[in-house]
Amino acid sequence: MTTDDQPLPHPTRRNVVWLSIQFSLRLVFAIWLRYRARSTGNLPPEGGGLVLVNHQSFLDPMLVGLPLRRPISYLARDNLFRVPVIGWILRKTYVMPINRDAASTASIRNALKRMEHGFLVGLFPEGTRTDDGQVGEFKPGFISLIRRAKVPVYPVGIAGAHDALPRGGFRLFPPPVRVVFGEPLSEEHLAELRAKGREDELIEYARAAVVACQLEAQQWRDGTE
């Protein structure tokens, strides 16, 4: 893991591990999950940002990163780093540890540092995977990043991953999966909510944007849009 005294990697260049995983999964997901993503152009080719994603499955970080030409530095719960092999992969793919129950000062500082360096930092504000495929309530921990980071905030919605690999499941099922990358949240509205200290409204504003992306992804998946 990168510490405060270690140089950060290049924020827009994928390393060998990231590229290898991306190359290996691209064909598998396209065939097995009929994976599709749209509006990736809403994420810029360079510059820092905070990416908020609904959490349906362990597949989610890969599903969001798969169509991109730059890496996303995710925040993931710290106990995953102690799992053999998985911990190594997390470290090699720019993932930062965070305590799910209490976002530590070090985790927030590291995330801010990466965004200032030009990274896209990915976060699942629900804090855990959904039980039913719907977007759950957002935990307030991510608000510290929105308050302090002067970077765009991008919502992303996933549909179908819950059916492909549900919470507690070990078999990868083949339902279609769709991912929608939304437009950045309004900087003007975010600034207004920050200035007035309206954290509840800030949480709901961010959640509504993610829900809209997830609904679009679900309608695309169902062919009802």
Question: Has residue 79 got a pLDDT over 60?
Answer: yes
- CATH fold for the domain made of 16-222: Glycerol-3-phosphate (1)-acyltransferase (3.40.1130)
Predicted confidence at residue 127, as pLDDT, reads 87
H or E, element range at 89 = helix 86-92
Question: 164 vs 133, 161, 170, 174, 222, CA distance in Å?
Answer: 11, 5, 10, 6, 15
Structure confidence at residue 6 as a pLDDT band (50, 70, 90): low
**Whole-prediction pTM:** 0.92
Query: Does the structure show a pLDDT above 80 at 219?
Result: yes
CB-CB contact of 202 with 211 (8 Å): no
Helices 199-222, 187-196: axis angle to 10 degrees equals 150
Q: What rounded mean pLDDT belongs to the chain? A: 91
Question: pLDDT per residue over 17-52, tens digit each?
Answer: 999 999 999 999 999 999 999 999 999 999 999 999
The domains of the chain are located at 16-222
SS3 216: helix
pLDDT tens digits, one per residue of 110-157: 999 999 999 999 999 998 999 999 999 999 888 989 999 989 999 999
CA distances from 135 to 36, 143, 159, 211 (A): 20, 17, 10, 6
